[in-house]
């Protein structure tokens, strides 16, 4: 009998019991992606969206299809602060209301479904809530980004199979820092508060795998279900800001901004970012094929995974 080659396992066969899209402010791109007078198409959160920035500089996000005859508005244009459909040139204001039909004196009540939007810390966020509830919290601006001693360095992006909860849970999974990243001896502290949690890392005398042996203080703050900013200080001072957002059920879009205190050489900063991203890829390989157990067999030393999951549950209806 000839050998039969079985297909390679690419993901768990058990269904994921979690909602595919958590509730909250979710990042859908960078502010720099949408210039004044531009229209940008994006498929994310299981929806086709258009982002457009009026001549006033204000940004709007709407569902992508015209309520008239269904044209995709990504091929449209900005006129003043309105989005003009490419098909029949209907105009829609930033609130989604139809403001003009060039061949009719009657302006219909039909409009676009728009999203609440925020631009904070270089990212574009929209508010998603499965039950339609309004925002109950906000993402705060990071003080370092208004400090002229810090400068933008780079972006990184990755699309992979997974769930945003798994990425956020990484901060509470203390044992994985040893097994995956080799941070043996690192002291960590997990502190949840409201819609945020903070993890502090004491890496004195430890090689973090980020190309920095010696004293490195790491302070990571997660806000909501899919956003973190992590400040590395010590011999070098730099910042990593990450958004991880569902594109469709089971697919996550990770996008990051990196900043550093001015004076660090570009070559050194690129080396640090490459080292950091190599560590992210180690995690991504796990996330892409792992199953989710509602009652995992955790042991002492795993970290506050149960505490984290109780905290994260607030982002599900």
Tens digit of each residue's pLDDT, the chain (317 residues): 455 554 455 556 678 999 999 999 999 999 999 999 999 999 999 999 999 999 999 999 999 999 999 999 999 999 999 999 999 999 999 999 999 999 999 999 999 999 999 999 999 999 999 999 999 999 999 988 899 999 999 999 999 999 999 999 999 999 998 899 887 666 788 999 999 999 987 765 555 545 555 667 889 999 999 999 999 887 788 999 999 999 999 999 999 999 999 988 888 888 888 988 999 999 999 999 999 999 999 999 899 999 999 999 999 98
Q: Which fold has domain 143-315?
A: Naphthalene 1,2-dioxygenase Alpha Subunit; Chain A, domain 1 (3.90.380)
Are 24-128 and 143-315 equal in CATH topology?
no
CB distance 293 to 302 below 8 Å:
no
The pLDDT value given to residue 6: 47
Question: Residues with Cβ < 8 Å from 209, sequence gap 6 or more?
Answer: 181, 182, 183, 275, 278, 279
Give 297: exposed, middle or buried? Use CB within 10 Å, 0-12, 13-18, 19+. Answer: exposed
Q: Look up the pTM and report it.
A: 0.92
Tell whether domain 24-128 is in CATH 2.102.10.10. yes
Query: Rounded CA gap, 51 and 62, in Å?
Result: 7
Q: Where do the domains of the chain lie?
A: 24-128, 143-315
What would you report as the CA-atom Rg of the chain, rounded to the nearest whole angstrom?
A: 22
The pLDDT value given to residue 10: 55
């Amino acid at each position: 009998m000839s050998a039969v080659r079985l297909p390679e396992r690419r993901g768990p066969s058990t269904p994921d019991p979690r909602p595919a899209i958590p509730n909250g402010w979710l990042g859908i791109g960078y502010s720099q992606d949408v210039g004044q007078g531009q229209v940008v198409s994006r498929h994310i959160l299981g929806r086709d969206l258009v982002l457009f920035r009026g001549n006033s500089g204000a940004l709007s996000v709407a569902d992508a299809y015209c309520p008239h005859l269904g044209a995709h508005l990504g091929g449209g244009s900005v006129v003043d602060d309105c989005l003009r459909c490419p098909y029949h040139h209907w105009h829609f204001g930033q609130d989604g209301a139809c403001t003009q039909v060039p061949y009719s004196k009657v302006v219909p009540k039909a409009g676009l479904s728009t999203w609440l939007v925020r631009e904070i810390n270089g990212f574009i966020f929209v508010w998603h809530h499965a039950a339609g509830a309004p925002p109950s919290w906000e993402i705060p601006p990071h003080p370092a980004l208004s400090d002229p001693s810090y400068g933008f360095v780079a972006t990184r992006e990755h699309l992979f199979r997974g769930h945003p909860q798994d990425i956020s849970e990484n901060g509470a999974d203390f044992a994985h820092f040893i097994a995956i990243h080799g941070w043996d001896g690192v002291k960590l502290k997990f502190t949840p508060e409201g819609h945020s949690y903070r993890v502090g890392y004491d890496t004195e005398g430890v090689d973090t795998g980020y190309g920095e042996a010696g004293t490195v203080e790491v302070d990571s703050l997660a806000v909501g279900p899919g956003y973190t900013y992590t400040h590395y200080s010590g011999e070098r001072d730099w910042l990593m800001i990450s958004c991880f957002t569902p594109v469709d059920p089971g697919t996550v879009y990770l996008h990051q901004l990196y900043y550093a205190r001015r004076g660090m050489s570009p070559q050194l900063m690129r080396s640090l970012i490459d080292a950091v991203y190599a560590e992210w890829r180690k995690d991504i390989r796990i996330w892409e094929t792992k199953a989710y157990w509602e009652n995992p067999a955790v042991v002492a030393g795993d970290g506050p995974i149960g505490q984290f999951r109780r905290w994260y549950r607030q982002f599900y209806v």
